[in-house]
Amino acid sequence: MARPVIAIVGRPNVGKSTIFNRIIGDRLAIVEDKPGVTRDRLYGTGEWNGRAFNIVDTGGIEIEGEDEIMKSVRMQAELAIEEADVIIFMVDAKSGLTLADEEVAHILFRSHKPVVVAVNKVDNQGRADDVYEFYGLGFGEPIGISGSHGTGIGDLLDAAVGKLPEIEEDPYDEDVIRVALIGRPNVGKSSLVNALLGEERVIVSDVAGTTRDAIDTPFERDGQRYVLIDTAGMRKRGKVYESTEKYSVMRALKAIERADVVLIVINGEEGIIEQDKHIAGYAHEAGRACIFVVNKWDVVEKDDKTMQQFTQKIREQFLFMTYAPIVFLSARTKQRLHKLLPVVNHVSEQHAMRIQTHLLNDVVADAVAINPPPTDKGKRLRINYVTQVSVRPPTIVIFVNAPEIMHFSYERYLENKIRAAFDFEGTPVRLFTRRKSEED
């Protein structure tokens, strides 16, 4: 099931990206002491007290001038209200309570979403008393933290995770294939849902962002049951929302986590843009089976080489997803639509495939015989044993004498050999190297 979402909201330069990096334990966000430096909304996963969650740094609003700051802050708050289960409202002890903070507070207060106030830059005992000023925001006890020193983060996570909703049970049986459609606005996700169902269940419009909510649609075809999860577009319109396609990613993330198979829908008429790569990357990182669906193929001017050339572009732009098959179709005319569900069934089977241990070890032994493992300072990597430990996605552990010698290029070589032997089309394969113990 989809992980709950915690969003970090606040005016520019209060330290949102620093806290985001602290929570996810990685330096994904660019941190610089300059307002508006975070150029893209960033997403990560965290875990605290046994609860996993997605966390989003909403600092990704480009600010064109001082007059745009309040508009940007309001937009961040509104998007967080719409997508998040809990909101961390970041303020700055050094500068104190500002008009921009009060503006955000008014918006958040009307939302009735759980809010935790984090007062950043409490870097010394002298600043501790500055926290009390923020009681006036009306969200209960503010929590003093220091992004630069890492203090108070545990208390902040205790408060935020404590407000997350209860975990919901999965309503679908194990034999149902959950299919999520993701892609930037106006690539034809809703049209594709309607074409698969054969009826107008989802509003379709040429205006990007007309789908109001994520819609689950169960259906059955040739004895196989499916659930289509259509990711919503932006709920509100206007210049502010239309200029921020990147904010559709949060809904895509939620759908990806609930899916077995992800259809990455690309507009064949417009081609591939950077946002397509971002969205596809989330599906890959989540370990879901993936299919590229090039929609609107009916309106593309083509000759006998067009499909081959577009395929080549996809392979070049998505180097990390060469395993994913590509289906060209038109949701509007239903051209080639019949090819899609058989591919969905196939990649779902590959995603859930388990390989017998002796077969896996035979393939790896042959691979090692052809290309021996690397050495480091005279010490050679020795592969003792290989086993698949889980499915969805297929996850394989390689037990070795010295994991630190395993180079990523050799790991990739082994993955390619495993794929050549067992296919695994449409699904990522995860390889982990572990030191062999006596118990193993």
Q: What share of the chain is helix, strand, coil (3-state, %, to 5)?
A: 40, 20, 40
Q: Are 381 and 401 in contact (CB under 8 A)?
A: yes
Return d(Cα 296, Cα 220) in angstroms, integer.
25
163 marked as binding residue: no
Q: Are 139 and 116 in contact (CB under 8 A)?
A: yes
Return d(Cα 18, Cα 16) in angstroms, integer.
6
Tell me the CA distances in angstroms from 258 to 57, 80, 231, one per residue in order.
22, 21, 11
321 marked as binding residue: no
362 marked as binding residue: no
100 marked as binding residue: no
Return d(Cα 386, Cα 359) in angstroms, integer.
10
Return d(Cα 85, Cα 213) in angstroms, integer.
16
417 marked as binding residue: no
Give buried/exposed letters for 44-66 (b at 16+ CB in 10 A, else e). bbbebeeeebbbbbbbbbeeeee
11 marked as binding residue: yes
233 marked as binding residue: yes
189 marked as binding residue: yes
Q: CB within 8 A of 129, min separation 6: which ones?
A: none
230 marked as binding residue: yes
232 marked as binding residue: yes
368 marked as binding residue: no
140 marked as binding residue: no
Please tell me the number of Cα atoms within 13 Å of 428 on its side-chain side.
19
184 marked as binding residue: yes
Q: Are 52 and 23 in contact (CB under 8 A)?
A: no
14 marked as binding residue: yes
DSSP-H helix ranges across 58-152: 66-83, 99-111, 125-128
Return d(Cα 404, Cα 434) in angstroms, integer.
9
297 marked as binding residue: yes
190 marked as binding residue: yes
240 marked as binding residue: no
Burial class (CB in 10 A: 0-12, 13-18, 19+), 119: buried
DSSP-H helix ranges across 134-289: 153-162, 189-197, 239-242, 249-258, 274-285
- 151 DSSP 8-state letter: B
Beta strands in 206-301 (DSSP E): 215-221, 224-230, 261-267, 289-295
120 marked as binding residue: yes
What is the number of other CB atoms lying within 10 angstroms of the CB of residue 228? Answer: 24
58 marked as binding residue: yes
Q: CB within 8 A of 390, min separation 6: which ones?
A: none
61 marked as binding residue: yes
33 marked as binding residue: no
429 marked as binding residue: no
296 marked as binding residue: yes
25 marked as binding residue: no
49 marked as binding residue: no
188 marked as binding residue: yes
Return d(Cα 315, Cα 282) in angstroms, integer.
17
The annotation places the binding site at 10-17, 57-61, 120-123, 183-190, 230-234, 295-298
The annotation places the binding site for GTP at 10-17, 57-61, 120-123, 183-190, 230-234, 295-298
